[in-house]
Structure 1
């Protein structure tokens, strides 16, 4: 199996290092990742300037690695359609992200978007994130991701399904188990911070604190809050099928 590994924290982050090393037991690993942090870039791609590619030494490994001055989605597109076009990857794994990608945050996530791009290109994919940036247990998360990578091709619709994994950041003995989950809801308070520059002009930081919201019991947010590993199968078809059936009953005029 050939595995393309990417992320949004940058090619020299600890999470991608631990992930790529662990995945070597599953197959041949090639790392293609941004040369700098690209968190919260969502599904953006670079259209108005050329993309630069640099072959790099990947830590203490012999893993083939390329740094791209673009977004995580750029990395997947460039990898599949150019750098690896002679032998396309069988699997794309994005992560390990330093911080959660839960609920509606997947829309903003560069980590998840890289995996979504793989699915658009008909390649099975996994996105994996730590549930907090304050405690990093990358080794256990990487080992768990390897187990999913080994079995993902047994899922009948694997090419159209992204496995979004969030790994709890409690001590390993406190991990309660694994739950297959649905996407929860994430909203933030104090998400815009206004400050003044030396000339008195306003500028803003987008930040914020996650709000405690009522969630479905099946949600990824609930699972992580109870120290479960969360696996949420997601896909890029955003159609609201309930509304689709309802709208078909309307008599629309030109």
Structure 2
């Protein structure tokens, strides 16, 4: 099995090293094509107005000056000798749940794999609920390979990808793996912080607020809050079929 790895945290990210450990437990044919620098929040963007530059770091390891989507395209269409059998994207530094999936470069890497007809899984490690001193990768490292192996037993519909989130807890405290739907936060999580530079010019930082609430049962948010590994199937067809039916009846 030929596996293509990418991420949005960059070629030197610790989560990518965890993903390599997971992939090498599944196959000896593992390729890495990841962004040269961090591309968090880039979503499913393409580089169309600048040349793509790719440098080879090792025999099966490449860095691309572009987005996660660029990386999957370059991997599947140029760097690898043949199309991969599996695309794994991550392991992201922080959860990708609810509205996060629309911003996430990690999820976008798996999206591009699904568009290419390749089985694709995005993996993210949550943090901030229990680990106050920074992120711990132990949960993803301990459970990642087993979860991926189990998911590979199932055939997915065309253009469907899987979004996996690992809870912020000790690996031994994980309760189970659950199938979830995409959740929705009940309050705005993005904040705008206004600042001023040394010349008196205004600038701004966007950031996520760390407020916690109790989400609906069955969602990805609920699973992570309750120390469960969340697996959410995502489909690239975003058509609202119920609204389509209503509009068609007008």
Change (3 A) 1:131 1:200: same
Partner of 1:131: 126
Q: Matched residues in 2 for 1:190 and 1:51: separation?
A: 31
Deviation at 1:158, TM superposition (A): 4.9
Q: Does 1:243 align with 2:243?
A: yes
Structure 1: gaps of 5 or more residues:
58-62
Query: Structure 1 residues 83, 189: CA separation in 2 closer, same or farther (over 3 Å shift)?
Result: closer
- Count of residue pairs brought into register by the alignment: 244
1:77 corresponds, among 73, 80, 83, to: 73
Distance, in Å, in 2 between the alignment partners of 1:103 and 1:190 is: 13
Deviations 1:81-111 (A, max 9, x none): 2222x41100000011111101111000000
2: distance between equivalents of 1:142 and 1:218? 24
- Which secondary structure does the structure 1 equivalent of 2:99 belong to? helix
Q: Tell me the residue number matched to 1:204.
A: 204
Structure 2 counterpart of 1:50? 51
Q: For residues 212 and 218 of structure 1, what CA distance do their matches in structure 2 show?
A: 17
CA–CA separation in structure 1 for the residues paired with 2:9 and 2:67 = 10
8 A contact 1:188–1:210 mirrored in 2 = no
Alignment of 1:115 with 2:114, yes or no, is no
Match of 2:169 in 1: 170
Per-residue deviation at 1:36? 1.0
Q: Select between 204-213 and 133-142 the one with higher mean Cα deviation.
A: 133-142
Distance 2:115 2:210 in 1: 30
CA contact (8 A) 2:3 2:30 kept: yes
Q: Which residue of 1 aligns with 2:215?
A: 215
Q: Cα deviations across residues 41-72 of structure 1 (Å, max 9, x unaligned)? A: 11111111111111114xxxxx6100001011
Unaligned runs of 5+ residues in structure 2 are none
SS state at 1:154 partner: coil
The normalised TM-score by structure 1 is 0.89
**Structure 1 stretch displaced more, 196-205 or 112-121:** 196-205
Q: CA–CA distance in 2 between the matches of 1:32 and 1:180?
A: 29
Query: TM-score when scaled to structure 2?
Result: 0.90
Deviations along 1:213-243, whole A, 9 cap, x unmatched?
5632111101111111111111111111110
Q: Aligned-pair distance for 1:138? A: 2.7
- Shift in alpha-carbon separation, 1:54–1:131, aligned structure 2, 3 A: same
Instruction: Tell me the secondary structure at the aligned position of residue 150 of structure 1.
Output: helix
Q: How big is the shift at 1:25? A: 2.3
